[in-house]
Amino acid sequence: MLTTNDTSRAFIAELFRTAVATAHPAQCLPNLLPPMPAGKLILLAAGKAAGAMTEVAESHYLKGLAQNTDRLCGLAVARHGYARPARVVDVVEAGHPVPDAAGLAAALRVLALADSGGPNDLVLVLMSGGASANWIAPAKGISFEDKQSVTRALLRSGATIGEMNVVRKHLSRIKGGRLARHAYPARLVTIAISDVPGDDPSAIGSGPTVPDPSTLQDARAIVAKFGLDLPETVTRALNDAANESPKPGDPAFAGSTFALAARPSDSMRAVEAQVRAAGYDCIALGADVEGEAREVAAAHARLAQELRAQGKRAVILSGGELTVTIRGQGRGGPNQEYALALAMALDGMPGMAALAGDTDGTDGGGGSAADPAGAILDGDTVSRARALGLDPAAFLADNNSTGFFEALGDLLTPGPTFTNVNDFRAIVVDTP
């Protein structure tokens, strides 16, 4: 016999699937694709949705080219495990969140392809979250190992994705608008799936095709804020004016266009409609929530308790990207840490279930496509754990949320989703 918890768990899992499906390239990309140019079309893609975006775009253009495929070329770089089949455009896989040699080699090929464009050609750039790690082209004087160490230091610091990208943009030959300089004088069109709060084009994939509003001074301030211990070569690069990124008014951006195919708010609106159709009140906290995972969980738990006290049937929805300051030695990610902290705060609440997951299919982890996307919980999660001899507080202190939910069988493991519109969180407060 199904319990209220079972029904609520099934419902929130369906909400997660709706959020992902709304942002899939097959759903959101075709209507934005520009016409074929007079010359050749150079398709360049990067990020967790790169494989699927390329698959959709290539299929679209090949229908009109028949056998004349010489006018289409390109390269897509996706996270390991996120490639999709393509006939003409090469699709390769590279490291994320820590870049690897495959991303380094691919970025050099991308720059060469962009350089090959002429006035009659179109450089079509398909961007999605994860591109910052997939396209890795260190600035002069910085080694590949230096860039890897910077990424690891930023990941452990608790810096937001925006702060991470400000630093990375000033240590690169492709990020922060620099790809646009390589594409010029070809026409440049960028279509992106947003995974960043506010949908700032300069933050998606570190903005390789748009002007960069951040500065070297901003990057140095972030390094100082988190007390990052960086290689001397990186410190020198952040003090070298030659590494300042191109700003608005740079000729490289003349005539270029940028469009969003999907954004977190699009997925949220689709889910909100589904929640209301099911008869629940919808408490939408927005698609741009940021903060330390366990602190946000505490705030959301208080809201859930207030709704229960008022006798409401409601679903609390939120998106955005949370952070974790790593102090322990465990495994996990911001969604799983949020879920663990939430389970502890709502221990024993009947008729409650929640899900926290990254819409790209992985949350933290070691860079494998099989890493969990998040976790599912309910009011009985903590009591079930204690019955197994598990101490939730100890797991939280060790940042070992993966180990905790793995032991309970409550990890969210959809596998690669081939899109990325950031995190999705839902808390169902139902009648007991």
pLDDT band at 1 (very low <50, low <70, confident <90, very high): very low
What is the CATH number that goes with domain 4-21+265-429? 3.40.1480.10
Which tokens sit at 16?
Answer: 């997660």
For position 365, what pLDDT does the model report?
Answer: 77
Residue (of 69, 102, 103, 113) closest to 87 by Cα position: 69
Look over the chain and give the mean of its residue pLDDT values, rounded to a whole number. 94
pLDDT tens digit string along 370-411?
A: 999 999 999 999 999 999 999 999 999 999 999 999 999 999
For position 66, what pLDDT does the model report?
Answer: 72
**93-102, 153-162, 213-222, 312-321, range with the lowest pLDDT:** 153-162
pLDDT above 70: percentage of residues in the chain: 99
pLDDT tens digit string along 52-63?
A: 999 999 999 998
pTM: 0.91
- Across the range 404-422, mean pLDDT stands at 97
Structurally, at CATH architecture level, domain 25-263 sits in 3-Layer(aba) Sandwich (3.40)
Contacts of 56 (CB under 8 A, 6+ apart): 25, 26, 29, 30
In DSSP notation, 258-307 reads EEEEE-HHHHHHHHHHHHHHTT-EEEE--S-EEEEHHHHHHHHHHHHHHH
Decide if pLDDT at 2 tops 80. Answer: no
Q: Are 321 and 195 in contact (CB under 8 A)?
A: yes
Q: Are 73 and 88 in contact (CB under 8 A)?
A: yes
Domain ranges of the chain: 4-21+265-429, 25-263
Cα torsion 177, 181, 185, 189 to 10°: value is: -20
Residue (of 35, 91, 42) closest to 71 by Cα position: 42
For position 336, what pLDDT does the model report?
Answer: 98
For position 3, what pLDDT does the model report?
Answer: 64
For position 165, what pLDDT does the model report?
Answer: 87
